[in-house]
Amino acid sequence: MTISINQISSGIGLRVDGVLYVVSEYTHVKPGKGSAFVRIKLKNVHTGQVVERTFKSADKLEDIQLDERKIQYLYRSDDTFHFMDNTTYEQIEVSLGTVNDVLKFLQDDLEVTGLFYDEKVLKINLPTFIIAEITHTEPGFKGDSSKAGNKPATIDTGTSIQVPLFVNIEDFVKIDTRTGEYVERVQK
């Protein structure tokens, strides 16, 4: 379906030169001289790269219907990841290439958001924070405080993060998935 530049809004999907994008920002410009145009920041659905494009008022853009759904990670078999759609309870297979960006924080039974186009998962978005168990770290020393420094620790997904010295094996920690940083120790 084609749309005019007046129908642009944040969050819609567009196909530009055969590539799928999501509109992250847009600005309608009406200069004193000449015709109106729109300046759009587009985020590539596959790579995450942001590009800025300008379209004239006469341009028609191809609108695509992107669908966000809650899905739950079940298990991995070789390079295929299995998820369950939380509304239809159908099992969805996703390739390693699609999951690669979020793999370091993907836990069993974790509920994530899947970006779908034509019933195919294009991208997996993790929740902003996850709770993970520390599976390996060197022991701290008596009297350590939270401001004394950091040490490496391995979480239940196999990813290594930096944690304060007082965090021990089998402790649960809250992690910001956008930065990969320790937020706080939590009780579970």
Tens-digit pLDDT profile for residues 125-143? 899 999 999 999 988 655 5
Residues whose CB is less than 8 angstroms from the CB of residue 112 and which lie 6 or more positions away in sequence, other chains included: 70, 71, 72, 73, 83, 102, 106, 124, 125, 126, 127
- Residue 93 pLDDT greater than 70, yes or no: yes
pLDDT at residue 117, rounded to an integer: 85
User: Span 31-59, mean pLDDT?
Assistant: 86
Give me the percent of the chain exceeding a pLDDT of 70: 95
- Residue 97: its H or E element: helix 96-99
Please give the class, per CATH, of domain 129-186: mainly beta
DSSP β-bridge partners for residue 70: 113
pLDDT at residue 11, as a whole number: 79
Judged against a pLDDT cut of 70, whether residue 172 lies above it is answered with: yes
What's the one-letter identity of residue 80?
T
pLDDT class of 187 with cuts at 50, 70, 90: confident
CATH number for 2-64 (one of 2.30.30.30, 2.170.120.20, 3.30.70.270, 3.30.565.10): it is 2.30.30.30
Which superfamily does 67-125 belong to?
Answer: Nucleic acid-binding proteins (2.40.50.140)
Extents of the domains making up the chain = 2-64, 67-125, 129-186
For residue 143, the model assigns a pLDDT of 54
Helix (H) or strand (E) holding 77: strand 67-77
Q: In degrees to the nearest 10, what's the CA dihedral of 75, 79, 85, 89?
A: -60
d(CA 99, CA 112): 11
Contacts of 50 (CB under 8 A, 6+ apart): 24, 41, 42, 43, 44
123 confidence band (pLDDT: 50, 70, 90) = confident
Query: Identical fold at 2-64 and 67-125?
Result: no
Sign of the dihedral defined by the CA atoms of residues 14, 20, 23, 27, in that order: negative
